[in-house]
Structure 1
Amino acid sequence: MFCKLQDKTKLTIDAYNKNFSGYTDKFMNYSPYAMHVIEFAGLLEDDFKVLDIGCGPGNVAKQLCAVKRLKITGIDLSSEMLEIARVNVPDGIFHLQDSRKASFSSEYFDAVVLSFSIVHLDDDEANEVLANAVKWLRSGGYLYLSFMEGKQPGFETTSFSSQPLYFNYFQETKIEEFLKENGIDRFRSIRQDYSELDGSNTTDVFLFGKKR
């Protein structure tokens, strides 16, 4: 299947909508990722307002809410994922919304989460979404960001989808530099291997930051 770059978002969301069950089964309680979410939750306080950008089926939101009583707002472009998120986090507010077009009040949220959501954006789009995320985060608020290193951007099949999705890969040093320039101080960095279907390894990166 030949995938045009300009169709990357539509093709990726179509794949998620058709394979939401497989994704949910794998990542709802995927311990190598959940352990970092739980650690991040320990930084938060009850009643914090949290924005989950690219919330998927609410896996991260549910894990956060298992630790603290939080006010969750989630956005995603997959309608099927959002239906599951509303079940997993019934007190959350979830919107069918493109992260590149989202608009929230400045310094409104106490924490912003981007769990493997920028990986479906090109470099310029990712920078724009990250800059907005910082703008929506209050001074002293916390940022959780995860992404991958290791390959060239392009369309790939996955363990949960035989339909291709667009993936982009980033460099930790460049992301940290961008965040610092936009007012975020990174205070925690975790790197771990993720085994791909072909036997290769991709490096997953998890960053915790605080807005100055």
Structure 2
Amino acid sequence: MERISKTITAYDNNCVAFNDKFIDYLPYQKMIREFINLLEPGIKVLDLGCGPGNVARQLMLAGKNFTLKGIDLSEEMIKLAQKNAPAGDFSCQDIRDISFNAESFDAVFLSFCIVHLNQTEVLSLLQKVSNYLKGEGKLYLSFMEGKKDGFEKTSFSKEEIYYFYHSAKSVKKILEDNHLSIIEIKEQDYPENDGSITTDVFIFAKKQFTSNGTCT
């Protein structure tokens, strides 16, 4: 599929520039730390679309002894993640094809990875994520809205990358339909190179169970 192959090639070729921009990007660090504060020590965490390990690095620095599994389709990003968060377990895999046992993780991160998935793929992935989360398990989800879907150049890559701009309303409905209740939604402006502004959306959610252990 062209949009995937071109996107991954761009990430492979520009992984260092991406790492340099986002590994310590303060607006995202702040959101990640706020979510980490909600997590108990020693839990199992899944980081999907882990990139160069910018989330994983924050998880390790938190000192909570998390067990971390990271997945990304870019081999070069995985190499960087292994350097940035050596305590994590990282593998190169398509997040659309993941398969884990039910209730395998206490928390899942989807940090700006659904921006490369269409609506059908997002629905399928979030259904899986809900299944992989334990009862009361937590989800960190971030994405952008405000532009049209398509290939575009970025601040870290002159090679084009395909982006989907999902609406917060549609993502919220998918979450709720899959027993993931919203803890908090935050938005912040992101200035683009062309002077336009897109909106970064951050959602903290948790899997809901009734007292008898069934999904609400």
TM-score (normalizing by structure 2): 0.94
Distance 2:150 2:98 in 1: 24
User: In structure 2, which of residues 59, 66, 81 is the aligned counterpart of residue 85 of structure 1?
Assistant: 81
Distance 1:91 1:46 in 2: 15
Count of equivalent residues: 207
- Residues 101-144 of structure 1 show CA distances to partners (whole Å, capped at 9, x for unaligned) of 01111111000000000001111111111111111111110000
User: In structure 2, which of residues 81, 91, 94 is the aligned counterpart of residue 95 of structure 1?
Assistant: 91
Within 5 Å, give how 1:183-194 maps onto structure 2: 183-194=179-190
User: In structure 1, which of residues 9, 16, 24 is the aligned counterpart of residue 4 of structure 2?
Assistant: 9
Percent identical residues: 48
Task: State whether structure 2 residue 202 is matched by structure 1 residue 197.
Answer: no
- Residues 59-106 of structure 1 show CA distances to partners (whole Å, capped at 9, x for unaligned) of 001112211221110000000000111111111111111000011111
User: In structure 1, which of residues 24, 28, 31 is the aligned counterpart of residue 19 of structure 2?
Assistant: 24
Distance 1:141 1:21 in 2: 33
Distance 2:110 2:22 in 1: 15
Q: Which runs of 4+ in 1 moved over 6 A?
A: none
Q: Displacement of 1:44 after TM fit?
A: 0.8
Q: Displacement of 1:187 after TM fit?
A: 1.2
Distance 2:187 2:58 in 1: 20
Instruction: Give yes or no for contact 2:60–2:87 (8 Å, CA) kept in 1.
Output: no
One-letter code of the match for 2:61? A
Task: State whether structure 2 residue 45 is matched by structure 1 residue 53.
Answer: no
Q: Could you say which residue in structure 2 is the equivalent of 1:3?
A: none
One-letter code of the match for 2:32? V
One-letter code of the match for 2:6? L
Q: Could you say which residue in structure 2 is the equivalent of 1:66?
A: 61
- Residues 17-49 of structure 1 show CA distances to partners (whole Å, capped at 9, x for unaligned) of 000000000000000111000000001111110
- Other structure's SS at 1:161 match: coil
Unpaired segments of 5 or more residues in structure 1?
1-5
Q: Cα RMSD (Å) of the superposition? A: 0.7
